[in-house]
Structure 1
Amino acid sequence: MMLIREMRTVEMQAFFSCFLLCIALDVCLSATPTPPTGKTWRIAVVGAGIGGSGYVHFLTEHEKKSGGGQTSIEVFEQADVPCGRVTTVKVGNDLYEEGGSILHPSNQYMRNYTEILGLKRITDDVSDGPFGIFDGVNWDYRQTGSSLWDTITLFLRYGFEPLKLNWLVDNMLNSFKSIYNIQNEGKAFTSPRDMLAAMGGQEFVQLPQMTLADYLLSKGFSLTFINELAAGAARVNYGQNTTMGGFAGLVSLAGSQSGLWSVLGGNNQVCYGLLKRSGVRVNYNSRVSRIRRISSPGKTVYELTIGNATRQFDIVILASPIEKANITFVDFPVTPKPNGIFQQTIATFVEGSLNRSYFHLDGISASEFPTDVLTTEGTFFNSIGKESSVNNTLPSIPVYKVFSRDALQASQYESLFNDSRVMTSKVWLAYPHYNPPHVIPSFVLDDQVFYVNAIEWVASAMEMISISARNAALLTAGVLHNVSPFDAPPTEPTMESKRDEL
């Protein structure tokens, strides 16, 4: 008090101004926690696919806007290129999408990536044409390319069910879109189940736990529609049938809607662009074989074994499926483990022409022949599609992509094609084998280990992974800013997990 009495008037005014400013700052700081000063958070991202590249994009953008603390991010990718299952293959003189190839117009994050990176989109694929559903012997349904006649024949076969399906999928997508506002508000989830509940309530929660066939039957669809159109979509998009989970099944049906697009030059440009733009260090040919939890009073770090070396990090982002990563987890309270098996799908590119006699279509014109052949269960291949290059051009000799569950024999190729050459074949463990009901893993493997690919057990798609990548970035921001996104250490994941939001 003596000091205040001795101050001049100006000094007293400055003192009280500073005092009031401190009070205001204290209120602000209590409302918006900030990271501890002087600490650089070491973050390891395992996998440079859509999930890993999306994560570093979302986290670096979040920290730029929030003025967060110091982070040192490194990405470890076991391949020599990024983007994992989103990749291209050279056939002849052109590149073609070998992995994830189509995107839905409602996919906001994938569309935003292209805009941020200045990439162009293909919205009118030159290979598009009529499609048909083949049962291995006969055509259940086949378009001719005449829009009026195709509409009439579609109605005669399925009635109003295709319109009903569009309505059902649109309603699902409208609920699904709420996740973007939820994430824009900074909310994150520790489990996919809780994320589904926030988007679509109990119906979304139950969808992965029932088969697509049962769900469509409950909505009044006929067995003819389910066994033909729905099965064809499930087989081409997931290599499975209508016994797959309902949520993933609806995602596959959304892939039959109009307005689908891809990235001009290849969808994998998204990963290259996001990693480069984020400025993080990417270590290629660097497989993480072990993650060990090292705990001491007040501190937990994670030791990664990469090749013959070990490195320690504060936060680890697993952006690769546990089922495929073959990582050993040591000293975790709950040891992460595979959740099931991944579905084998073989993508084979064939240069040549389809054998019209095999398909009983000798007498039709080239424009009437289906560019996409879907199949019903029991047919030895899942689908055949006429392909355009990643630059949306058609080769002089047609190129077809054949999806199958097993490698096709020479006699099978010869029955499907005339004068053909098998250019390349890729065996994918492309997505989970959905066999509901099943446990859906947690996004949180340990206090500071977050699992992007947990979302794949709901549905596997580029946009789903991107949503999960942002969720992992928001969980990370919670750690950086001293906001715990969960009340207790993670436990064994269950189908009735407690809901937590950040």
Structure 2
Amino acid sequence: MCYLLLTYYSALHSRMFFLYFLLFFFISTFAHATPPLGQTVFQERPQLKKVAIIGGGAAGSSTAFWLSNTIGSSIPLHITVYEKEDRVGGRSMTIPIKGDPTLGHIELGASIFVPVNYNMMNASERFGLPLKHLTAETKLGIWNGESFLFEETGNQYWDTAKMLWRYGTAPLRFPNHLRSILDKFLSVYDIDDRHEAFTTLPQILDQLNMKALVNQSASDHLNDMFGSIFVHELVQSASRGNYGQDVDYLHAFAALVSMSAGSGAWSLQDGNYRIFEEFLARSKHTQLRLNTKVTSIESIHEVDEHNHSVQQYKIHTSQSEEGELYDAVVLASPLHMANIDLPCLDFPEHYARQYHTVHVTIIAGYPDPSYFGRNEENVPTSIITTGIPLVDHFDHQEAPFTTFTRHLTLDNGESVVKMFSSKELSDNDIAALFHNTSWIYRKSWQAFPKLLPVPNHSTENGNDWPPVILHDFDTTGGGLFYANAFENVISTMETQTLMGKNIARLIHERWCLNPTESSPSLHSKCAPFGDGWGNY
């Protein structure tokens, strides 16, 4: 019996020893896993970051997309896009022809992009948005108010011979010059995680070696190389068609970008604005507030629980005077059009450059080719008027319209014509161009800045570039950015998306690569920016 008891107690003692051992093991393990009092645990979830974007056009929608697919894939991020209109797209929109969607739609604003526009082309492919090519059957005519200085017939060989007869070898030499300039600009797509985002426009112009092109007019840059006739007729036709501005006043880079449409122009079948709708639809944790005008942006300095200074911005809108706080704000609308009270800025008036007003007139009717001294068989389908100095045959030395383009023919034989002009076309102007009309739609845009040359010493004559960073963005990690700054260099849908990506890079660099005292945990959480497309 004693033996049995001894055996029992011995076995019990062994089991108790084993249990004590396990208990000690777990206590020791968890004791070592618990940080000493006051130690910061870097693995805990970082604080939510909030970004406000004002404007739902090309710049604003793309900024949301780049931020969502980079920073938003690594840390808690919430984006709010404020749009004062009831739609997305900014200066890109379509209207139904004659108010009837069954007849199709026509672009009213930004109409085309070209094959070298990587972001626009890539978005259309990745988002499954079908493209349409501008018809190759368009026949160009350059009209000086009395006659066509040059016109295409539709016969490629005959048109080439006519071009060489009038302009010499300039048409043969010009494409190489254009390609050399575009190649410089296209190096902007090579900017990746090895390069810092640009913080000023002179910085990116120097980086692309393009400063000289924006410091002189197109005519000064091109006349000696290709001759005044070629420049003031063919190049100016492109600059007037794209920017409504003449080569004596437009900077050289803008004129060259206008000529790049010769490589092929594209648009979306359902309207170019669809890309910007998709940018926002595919931006995670992003809220779109339509019909909401931002009225003011206040700079707020607060102190967090660690006694660190935090820069934030309070946004007030037409829907709420109470205001909402954000860590960063992106202004993606031209400053003078946004009409926002910015008490945090001491903003020089000369930063807000003048914008060129374009009057768009869409007409359904039967054009009268006799206005141009032609008949229906031989009148050009896309007519561009001459500008300075070729204006002697126009009343008051100013063409009544800039472009006259037939876009399609309806089943009833009517032509749908889009016209651009610097002034609103009167009923008498339209009556002179048409036998009769059944529909007229007018829309005016402040379409793009007047792309005047900016001299090297611009700050001395009050004609400086607008800033990319409007306010702060220092060690506090906050910032107010101007996404429309770059359109003062060149204004296209593509360059707006490029600026959106650059601003997203700036925010990524600050929050992820250069963490602040108030956000020390972001550095270990953020993934590299990459190309910004994420999983798309």
TM-score by length of 1: 0.83
| Other structure's SS at 1:346 match | strand
Which of the numbers 166, 169, 179 marks the counterpart of 1:157? 166
Structure 1 range deviating more: 437-446 or 82-91: 437-446
Per the alignment, do residues 347 and 35 of structure 1 end up closer, same or farther by CA in structure 2, a change over 3 Å counting?
farther
Structure 2: give runs of 5+ residues left out of the alignment: 1-24, 33-41, 304-308, 388-397, 455-462, 474-478, 517-536
What is the root-mean-square deviation in Å for CA atoms of aligned residues?
Answer: 2.5
Closer/same/farther in 2, CA of residues 56 and 301 from structure 1, 3 Å limit: same
Q: Superposition pairs for residues 12-51 of structure 1, below 5 Å?
A: 37-51=45-59
- Paired AA for residue 444 in structure 1: I
When structure 1 is superposed on structure 2, of 49-58 and 168-177 the one drifting more is 168-177
Separation of aligned partners in 2, 1:326 and 1:164: 46
With over 3 angstroms needed to count, the CA separation of the structure-2 counterparts of 1:426 and 1:192, relative to structure 1, is same
User: Residue 317 of structure 1 aligns with which residue?
Assistant: 330
Asked if 2 retains the 8 angstrom alpha-carbon contact of 1:293 and 1:300, the reply is yes
- Output the CA distance in 2 between the equivalents of 1:239 and 1:400: 18
Summarize deviations over 1:157-214 as a string: whole Å, max 9, x none: 1112122222222111111111111146453100122112222x2xx01212211111
Instruction: Tell me which residue corresponds to 1:122.
Output: 132
Percent identity of the aligned residues? 28
Instruction: Verify the 8 A CA contact 2:351 2:466 in the aligned structure 1.
Output: no
Aligned-pair CA distance for 1:480: 2.0
191 and 35 in structure 1: CA distance in 2 versus 1, 3 angstrom threshold: farther
The answer as to whether partners of 1:323 and 1:338 remain within 8 angstroms in 2 is no
> Which of 337, 340, 357 is the matching residue for 2:353?
340
Residue of structure 2 in register with 1:475 after alignment: 506
TM-score (norm 2): 0.78
Q: 1:394 to 1:129 in 2, by over 3 A?
A: farther
- Structure 1: any 5+ residue segments left out of the alignment? 1-10, 19-33, 486-502
Larger Cα-atom Rg? 2
2:268 and 2:161 mapped to 1: Cα distance? 33
Report matched runs for 1:85-164 at 5 Å: 85-92=91-98, 93-123=103-133, 125-126=134-135, 128-164=137-173
Amino acid at match of 2:87: V
Given that residues 350 and 464 in structure 2 are in contact (C-alpha distance below 8 angstroms), is that contact kept between their aligned partners in structure 1? no
Contact 1:344 1:405 survives alignment (8 Å): yes
**1:439 Cα offset (Å):** 1.9
Q: Are 1:176 and 2:185 matched, yes or no?
A: yes
CA deviation after TM superposition for structure 1 residue 441, in Å: 1.2
Distance 1:429 1:455, change over 3 A: same
Give the AA of the match of 1:325.
Answer: A
| Greater than 4 Å deviation, 4+ residue runs | 34-37, 333-338, 393-396
Distance 1:170 1:415 in 2: 41
**Superposed CA offset, 1:131-167 (max 9, x none):** 1100111111011111111111111111121222222
- Provide the C-alpha distance between the structure 1 equivalents of 2:357 and 2:246, rounded to a whole number of angstroms: 13
Instruction: Tell me if 1:429 matches 2:430.
Output: no
Secondary structure of 1:164's counterpart equals: helix
The match for 1:8 is none
Tell me, in whole angstroms, the C-alpha distance in 1 between the residues paired with 2:327 and 2:272. Answer: 32
**How far is 1:126 from its partner?**
3.8
**Aligned in 2, Cα 1:479/1:119: closer, same or farther, shift over 3 Å?**
same
- Residue number among 347, 360, 381 corresponding to 2:401 in the alignment: 381
Assess if the C-alpha contact under 8 Å between 1:44 and 1:316 holds in 2: yes
Deviation at 1:274, TM superposition (A): 1.2
Matched residue, 1:198: 207
Query: Which residue of 2 is the match for residue 239 of structure 1?
Result: 244
Deviations 1:53-101 (A, max 9, x none): 111111111235xx53211100000000000101101222321011111
Query: Partners of 2:347 and 2:310 in 1: how far apart?
Result: 18
Aligned pairs for 1:366-405 (under 5 A) are: 366=377, 368-377=378-387, 378-388=398-408, 396-405=413-422
Number of aligned pairs? 443
AA partner of residue 80 (structure 1): D
Query: Take 2:420 and 2:345, find their aligned partners in 1: how far apart are those partners?
Result: 39
